[in-house]
Structure 1
Amino acid sequence: MLKNLKNSKFLLKVFRSIFVVMGWMPKKKKLVMFESFHAKQYSDNPRAIYEYMKEQHKDYQLLWSIDKQSIKLFDDFQVPYVTRFSLQWFLTFPRAKYWVNNVRLPGWMPKPEGTVYVQTWHGTPLKKLGLDIEQIHMPGTKTDTYKRNFINESRNWDYLVSPNAYSTEIFKRAFHYDGQVIESGYPRNDVLSIPSEDVVKSLKQKLGIPEEKKIMLYAPTWRDNEFHKKGKYKFNFKFDLENWKREFGSEWVLLSRMHYLIAENFDFSAHEGTVYDVSSYPDIRELYLSADLLITDYSSVFFDFAILNRPIVFFMYDLETYRDELRGFYMNIQEDAPGPIVQTEEELFQAINELEQSNVQSNPTFKSFKTKFSSLEDGHATKRVVQAFLK
């Protein structure tokens, strides 16, 4: 019912009107509102900024704007929140002095005068973004409309957080953004600069993973052209889990982390004790810290995982299609990837076996990659971001 109401043009006009009126009210100058991934997660850069401010800026009121379906998650973390589209939300969100978000806000939400909107975004880009995408393949989305919506959104940003100089150049062009950029490293990555054995032990206990097992993390992205309907994407494994189990199951477990846009609920019950679905695990950083090896494709996760100096395998079974037809890349991944690119199950398993015994830090390509993309990841990015937007 609520979903139908939110899709009603009339109701969106009503929402907008209420939002505008409340935006005229006096600002709550010490109130910071946070959202992550369409108000559905307690994660990413907004979480890191929230947790830093909670400790270092106790005079500020910190609130999360959340989707109704995420109430249990935020209750479990004991994080203060207001539910999107509730009366309290309309009385609060438009009056906050600061907004911290990592994706676009709904188009009907105008930014009130005097609000400081901090857009953290959510990854160093490999695949093309925003205005740089030549043709949109997502269902129900026209290319011109998609790009116009991006322009309308980015003009509201007062600050845009960038993890490195490479991203700054791309973000400014792809988002049509000429405002202030905080080139700081990513707040979410601060914890990766000091790996913790306690995190690994805790995660294994939570998931029931035997202490002696090594962890392989599989974290692929979504495909624009593989979908059930608008907003509901699908994904199929391109390597056989039984084969993986025979090859690696005695020493390893596989953690499967699907992109938030992939709607499938995967059933790994046939592989219990070997394959674990961690798609809804609240904090991917704990998965990074616990993983001994990463398998990914075009997801930005590899930029973050490389900070840990651990092996990465790129399982790009559809490389030519994804690069040449769907998205296009900003870098020559075949030359610059900090790990081998494979396209078949056989190649994947072979690469894993070879990397297991290798020291990635001795690889010149890996070292060059880290110099270009991770030089600012020193554990203090969050401090730099908060100091910039509170000045």
Structure 2
Amino acid sequence: MASVDRKKNVKIVYHSFGGRYSDNPRALHQRALSREDLDAEHVWLAAPRHAGSFPAGTATVPWGTPEALAELRSADLVVADIHLPAWDKRPGTTYLQTWHGTPLKRIHRDALSQFELEEVMARLDDDIASWDVLLGPSEAGADALRAAFGFTGPVPVTGYPRNDALLAPDAAERRARVRAELGIEDGRTAVLYAPTWRDDERLEGAEGFRLGLDPERFAERLGEEHVLLLRLHHLAPDAQRGQDVPGVMDVSDHPDNNDLYLAADVLVTDYSSAMFDFALTGKPVLVLAYDLEHYRDVLRGFYFDLDEITPGPVLRTSEEAIDALADLDGVRAAYEDRYERFRDRFCHAEDGRAADRVLDLVLPAQGTGA
């Protein structure tokens, strides 16, 4: 497996979701900074609109510039959770692709409906050919990712570094702090609604966008004892951001999903990889699949049978989802066994030490980080 000699000062260049400080690269950066056995220079490729989310003192260069390409070319280790543009990877550089979730929906050339131009797909294939290591969140997730990308290199099953925080000793304290910051009162049920994006909505823009869960109906029925945390995908149109509905809070621009997973009491999603991460919390997961046939049979397709694997009910309408939210104790009881099977299959590698495992894989020297 490709790795960097940790005995010298190494240069690590990070990129996440078009220039954000987020996801697996963020977790690896934070853990690397805390390890006394690692002497490294850290540089992030940052989008100007997200520059304020980077910790003070973090070295950044503007994403999409010649300077960013120069940083990639000079790196000993590149850590990314999404595809990179062509950058003339030099001999000796290790490119770690963490990706950004267990794929339920089909991706890359496996997607049933190809919305990308062939030259774009060819560029993505060139990027895949330069990966040295691709992380596997679980055995099932590793198999799906390996097949999706046609990647023949190592796919170690490490768990996801970004999920370490969900199992950290201070998780309860962090939950209380985040809820206080968001203004969620004690005893109020926080519902995190995190739908994925849809390729056809991306083409149609705001006119084609819809929310499966009706915020106004949610507020009408559950607003006194519940709060809806609306987390739109970063590729979704801006049409529904900043909704002015009592009891609905737009958290789409919150910098850390883990904060929201810890603060929430239940997740409502559809075909997002969020369910695989959120299940580590042990809290209920509802799947609102209002366009199941279209998404499964026309738009994308799935790697896993949705009805077979989900840790909670598959619901078809907003009203069904609201009914389930009104009876979470019943949901927990009815899906307890399914929930455990889901965790056994997709969460078995998660133990709160994934970041250390990954760093030891790509920087194998001088200790274990214990």
TM, length-normalised to structure 2: 0.89
Kindly report which structure 2 residues correspond to 1:1-391, keeping only aligned pairs within 5 A, or say none.
30-39=10-19, 41-56=20-35, 57-74=37-54, 77-85=56-64, 88-106=67-85, 108-136=86-114, 138=115, 141-142=116-117, 144-194=118-168, 196-228=171-203, 235-272=209-246, 274-359=247-332, 363-391=336-364
Counterpart AA for 1:252: H
- Aligned-partner Cα distance in 2 for 1:125–1:233: 27
Q: Is the 8 A contact 2:13 2:44 kept in 1?
A: yes
Q: Is the 8 A contact 2:311 2:335 kept in 1?
A: no
Counterpart AA for 1:72: G
Residues 330, 90 of structure 1: alpha-carbon distance in 2 compared, 3 angstrom cutoff: closer
Number of aligned pairs? 355
Residues 346, 38 of structure 1: alpha-carbon distance in 2 compared, 3 angstrom cutoff: same
Residues 249, 134 of structure 1: alpha-carbon distance in 2 compared, 3 angstrom cutoff: closer
- Aligned-partner Cα distance in 2 for 1:381–1:32: 18
- Aligned-partner Cα distance in 1 for 2:78–2:149: 18
Counterpart AA for 2:235: L
Q: Is the 8 A contact 1:257 1:278 kept in 2?
A: yes
| Offset at residue 356 of structure 1 (A) | 3.9
- Aligned-partner Cα distance in 2 for 1:245–1:159: 45
Deviations along 1:213-248, one digit per CA (max 9) or x if unpaired, are: 221000000111113569x89631233322211211
- Aligned-partner Cα distance in 1 for 2:16–2:149: 19
Counterpart AA for 1:62: H
- Aligned-partner Cα distance in 2 for 1:131–1:89: 28
| Offset at residue 132 of structure 1 (A) | 1.8
| Offset at residue 32 of structure 1 (A) | 0.3
**Structure 2: which 5+ residue stretches go unaligned?**
1-7, 365-370
Residues 285, 258 of structure 1: alpha-carbon distance in 2 compared, 3 angstrom cutoff: same
Q: SS of the counterpart of 1:38?
A: coil
- Aligned-partner Cα distance in 1 for 2:70–2:16: 20
Q: SS of the counterpart of 1:124?
A: coil
| TM superposition outliers: structure 1 runs of 4+ over 6 Å | none
| Offset at residue 349 of structure 1 (A) | 1.5
Q: How much is the aligned-residue C-alpha RMSD, in angstroms? A: 2.2
* Matching residue of 1:6: none
Q: Is the 8 A contact 1:222 1:235 kept in 2?
A: no
- Aligned-partner Cα distance in 1 for 2:335–2:319: 25
**Structure 1: which 5+ residue stretches go unaligned?**
1-27
Q: Is the 8 A contact 1:233 1:262 kept in 2?
A: no
Q: SS of the counterpart of 2:326?
A: helix
Higher relative contact order (CA 8 A, sep 6+): 2
- Aligned-partner Cα distance in 2 for 1:326–1:384: 36
| Offset at residue 81 of structure 1 (A) | 1.4
Q: Is the 8 A contact 2:78 2:93 kept in 1?
A: yes
Counterpart AA for 2:360: Q
| Offset at residue 69 of structure 1 (A) | 2.2
| Offset at residue 91 of structure 1 (A) | 4.5
| Offset at residue 124 of structure 1 (A) | 0.3
Q: SS of the counterpart of 2:61?
A: strand
- Aligned-partner Cα distance in 1 for 2:66–2:121: 32
Counterpart AA for 1:31: K
Deviations along 1:157-187, one digit per CA (max 9) or x if unpaired, are: 1111110111221222211211122210111
Counterpart AA for 2:229: L
Counterpart AA for 2:14: F
| Offset at residue 130 of structure 1 (A) | 1.7
- Aligned-partner Cα distance in 1 for 2:209–2:231: 12
Q: Indicate the percent of aligned positions where both proteins have the same amino acid.
A: 34
- Aligned-partner Cα distance in 2 for 1:359–1:350: 14
| Offset at residue 145 of structure 1 (A) | 3.6
| Offset at residue 109 of structure 1 (A) | 2.1
- Aligned-partner Cα distance in 1 for 2:213–2:146: 38
